[in-house]
A and B are shown apart, each in its own frame.
Chain A
Amino acid sequence: GQNIDQPTEMTATEGAIVQINCTYQTSGFNGLFWYQQHAGEAPTFLSYNVLDGLEEKGRFSSFLSRSKGYSYLLLKELQMKDSASYLCAVNSGYSTLTFGKGTMLLVSP
């Protein structure tokens, strides 16, 4: 089966740094994705990791350790508009992208 765990909610202050963790146990692995989703809107692609290590893209970075089944999304210089749900998703093989339950991030002034 597929199991993807991430915290349900997190809070942080504007300008701070926040790390959202994701652990996974899947029958196969063909990459891990992070998506951002604002309420009532479609998910938007943030990052993709298939090899171990850190991928940096502006204020967002994503890390993967395949041996530990672990990833994190790091958001720097938080802005109010970063308040959203952050979805960790694993491509476990042929086409299927399995999503975690999402982490609701609330950024306060």
Chain B
Amino acid sequence: DTEVTQTPKHLVMGMTNKKSLKCEQHMGHRAMYWYKQKAKKPPELMFVYSYEKLSINESVPSRFSPECPNSSLLNLHLHALQPEDSALYLCASSQSARDYGYTFGSGTRLTVV
């Protein structure tokens, strides 16, 4: 298995909703990442997990809450989002936090209404 699987592929949520994005990989990678990408912009790093511990939080608002239940799973819990949070959310993994060779998931297209 050489893929990073993200679910759902599309999500529409209201500003008062609570939802979660899920990411799964079975490549034995020990570093996992959340990136946010707005249209026609490059991906922007949000969070880095290394060996299931949060190692980097790029000053992301608290309405985004990451969770790494085990080495294969990464979640992003969403609560009280704003319309400007609408974007493509990409999960990626790599063998370690010092390793190149990111594998990206296909992303979740999030629309906040």
Q: A: which residues have CB within 8 A of B?
A: 30-31, 33, 40-45, 48, 50, 87, 89, 91, 94-102, 104
Docked complex Cα distance between A30 and B45 (Å): 17
Sorting the interface of chain B by its residue count into under 10, 10 to 19, 20 to 34 or 35 or more gives: 20 to 34
User: Cβ of A40 and Cβ of B88 under 8 Å apart?
Assistant: yes
User: Cβ of A43 and Cβ of B43 under 8 Å apart?
Assistant: yes
Given contacts A95-B56, A96-B56, contact A45 B42 (CB under 8 A): no
Chain A contact residues: over half helix, strand or loop, or mixed? loop
Docked complex Cα distance between A47 and B50 (Å): 23
Contact partners of A33 in chain B: CB under 8 A: 100, 102
Given contacts A41-B107, A99-B42, contact A94 B88 (CB under 8 A): no
Q: How far is the CB of A90 from chain B (nearest CB, A)?
A: 11
Docked complex Cα distance between A43 and B45 (Å): 14
Given contacts A87-B42, A101-B42, A102-B42, contact A95 B104 (CB under 8 A): no
Q: Which residue of A lies closest to B96 (CB)?
A: A95
Contact partners of B105 in chain A: CB under 8 A: 42
Q: How far is the CB of A79 from chain B (nearest CB, A)?
A: 22
Docked complex Cα distance between A78 and B22 (Å): 36
- Residue B7 interfacial (CB < 8 Å): no
> What mask results when residues 19 to 55 of chain B are scored 1 for a CB within 8 Å of chain A, else 0?
0000000000001010000001111110010100001
